[in-house]
Chain A
Amino acid sequence: MKGTLSSVVIKQEWDIVGARQAGRQVSQDLGFGSVDQARIATAISELARNIYLYTEEGEITFEQVRDIPKVGLKIIAQDQGPGIKDLSAVMKDGYSTSGGLGAGLPGVKRLMDHFDLESDENGTKVTAIKWAR
């Protein structure tokens, strides 16, 4: 079973909070504990902030995933921005944090159980899954 639970358009900084809010709601519904909720919210913040900072507009979509007996939350962050040129550089520890920009994409990867990144000149798509315990 699989289905879109909700999605949030990211255009302004304020939308980051909206995405967190939506993500927290669905993770509560899926039965995530308080620490995992906080982790998911932080991951959403990172993804949404990347869209807000580097592109005109993007969207964060939440889906429920099931891998019997596990239930999980899939977050998809997609934009039509300029794309990331050097993928391995942004996935390297210390790349964004050293400038104080935040946890960066390696942080998102750590916060979640599964992480995937695709990017070309037409945009970037990040997919991340967290399984409920």
Chain B
Amino acid sequence: MSSIESDMQNYKELLSQYLQTRNEAILYQAEQFSKQSIQQNISPDEIVNVHYEALEEVMPDMGERVRDSFQFLIETMIAYGLAYQEHQVLREKQIELRSEIGVAANMQETLLKTTIPSDEKVDIGVKSVPAKEMNGDYHHFIKDEDGNIGIAIADVIGKGVPAAFCMSMIKFAMESFSENEINPQRILDSLNRVVGRNVEEGMFVTMFYGFYDTTDHQFYYASAGHEPCYILRYDTGKFEEIDAKGLLLGVSNDVSYEERQVDIRSGDLIILLTDGVTECRVDDRFIEQEEVLDIINQYAHLDAQGIVEGVFQYFERLQDFQLRDDFTLLVMKRKD
């Protein structure tokens, strides 16, 4: 109360000084006054009243009609005052929610953490960046006791919190598979049942599962409607699309996924990605698939992590540092 009264006094002085001098410096002080009032949650109708009361003292001869007009203005401003106060409350709530989501995002990050296996035969690099705070993309590595590498990349159709929930479920389902039965087809078959049972209709997951046999350099894989993945052949310098077909996870219960294999030669690059990479939008246009491959090619001489970092930085800059979709790019490079 006392602060409003002292502000009131302050306002009255400023007003009478201004009426005498029309000085810009006083207008500047008026601006400071309004900022201060906002900080103290003083609503617009109260400011009008402060003005009216100040005017009564500064200009006691103002007529009855002017007085009445102020009553009219105050009535009109009451609803604005309410809207203003509600806005303040909603803003605080938004800050609260945002920090809650921040905590959830941290939890998710911890939950979905996976370590890139170090291997003398394959070099692996990965970059996964969410568009919003929560990531709807997922990737996971596993190494069996013979040193073979299992690798999963998945994308929930949708973004934000619901996608993140769904991702956590996939992660726990993946953990129930033993390290020594990594089999792309079997993994997708059973994940399909998990997703079908636990996810609402209309939420779909695409996934690519690969198994790299480090002894004979065969790459076994199966895809559940996932974005096409590629191999960049070292000897020809050409891209090959990894040929894989399959229905998205959770669409139908009786699906069996097809497993294929491809021979990986020395220096070859396996490129797995989500549609946040290929459907990167610049202004109103989607970039072409060739453009993505071109960029990957430009960085292909680097080590695996160097490639994904380079490509990400390129597209991040292209999109003015605001990703439209979750971005995950994963490369495996045969070393020997």
From A34, A38, A41, A97, contact of B86 by CB (8 A): A97
Interface size on A, residues (CB 8 A): 16
Q: Is A1 an interface residue (CB 8 A)?
A: no
With A34-B52, A35-B45, A93-B89 known as contacts, the answer to whether A103 contacts B82 (CB < 8 A) is: yes
**Is B90 in contact with chain A by the CB < 8 A criterion?**
yes
Q: Which of A93, A103, A106 contacts B79 (CB 8 A)?
A: A103
Main secondary structure of the interface of B (DSSP, over half): helix
Chain A window 100-117, contacts with chain B (Cβ cutoff 8 Å), 1 for yes, 0 for no: 001100110011000000
B71, B78, B86: the one contacting A39 at CB < 8 Å is B78
Q: How far is the CA of A68 from the CA of B197 in the complex (A)?
A: 66
Cβ of A31 under 8 Å from chain B: no
Which residue, of A33, A34, A38, A110, has the highest number of chain B Cβ atoms within 10 A? Answer: A38
* B contact residues around A82 at 8 Å (CB): none
The residue on A at minimum CB distance from B71 is: A34
Chain B residues, CB < 8 A from A34? 49, 52, 70-71, 74
- Which residues does chain B contribute within 8 Å of A42, judged by CB atoms? 75, 78-79, 82
How distant is the Cα of A51 from the Cα of B74 in the complex, in angstroms? 25
**B83: interface (CB < 8 Å):** yes
B279 neighbours in A (Cβ, 8 Å)? none
- Please classify the interface of chain A as helix (H, G, I), strand (E, B), loop, or mixed, using the class held by over half of its residues: helix
Q: In the complex, are the beta carbons of A110 and B85 less than 8 A apart?
A: yes
A97 touches B83 (CB 8 A): yes
Give per-residue flags for B217-243: 1 if the beta carbon is below 8 A from chain A beta carbons, else 0. Answer: 000000000000000000000000000
Residue of A nearest to B77 (CB): A38
Smallest beta-carbon distance B179→chain A, Å: 49
B80 → A minimal CB distance (Å) = 10
Alpha-carbon distance between A82 and B46 when the two chains are bound, in angstroms? 37
**Of B71, B74, B75, B86, which contacts A107 at CB under 8 A?**
B86
Nearest chain A CB to B254 CB, angstrom units: 43
Question: With A and B bound together, what is the CA distance between A97 and B89 in angstroms?
Answer: 13
A93-B89, A93-B90, A94-B90 known; A35 and B82 CB under 8 Å? no
- Give which listed residue, B74, B79, B83, B89, contacts A35 with CB less than 8 A: B74
Contacts of B75 in A (CB 8 A): 38, 41-42
Interface-centre pick from B45, B52, B74, B82 (highest chain A CB count, 10 A): B82
Given contacts A97-B83, A103-B79, contact A38 B89 (CB under 8 A): no
**27 residue pairs from A and B, CB less than 8 Å apart:** A33-B49, A34-B49, A34-B70, A34-B71, A34-B74, A35-B45, A35-B46, A35-B49, A38-B71, A38-B74, A38-B78, A39-B78, A41-B75, A42-B75, A42-B79, A93-B90, A93-B93, A94-B86, A97-B83, A103-B79, A103-B83, A107-B82, A110-B82, A110-B85, A110-B86, A111-B78, A111-B82
